[in-house]
Amino acid sequence: MSKPIASYSPFRRAGNTVYCSGQIPLIPQTGELLHGSITEEVNLALDNLAAVLRDAGTGLDRVVKTTVFLIDPRDYAEMDAAYRTRFADPLPAREAVFVAGLPKQARVEISAIAVD
């Protein structure tokens, strides 16, 4: 798991709920941003989210809600296809939000709420 790039905790626990900060496609070994297809970037952001969840004692299978931030609406369909391969039914509740910019010039960021 990459270290946070600003002043925040990767996750906070409140009872049996885990709130995960947004994850961007940072390469864990270098801390550098991956510049690839949106599919590759979504998968790495989700890998990073899975690492945060493991540190919190849970996993992607316990995620009940996500927020996906994208800078380009044209990436939505490809993001959705990549995202869909990582979660089983029932899928987490989700919103996609289009923003003007993300940390480190990332194209995607994904945050999550999980329960134990």
Q: Which domains does the chain have, with CATH numbers?
A: 11-115 (3.30.1330.40)
Query: pTM of the prediction?
Result: 0.94
Residue-wise pLDDT tens digits, 74-86: 999 999 999 999 9
pLDDT digits over 58-114, tens only? 999 999 999 999 999 999 999 999 999 999 999 999 999 999 999 999 999 999 999
Judge whether 68 and 23 are in contact, CB under 8 Å: no
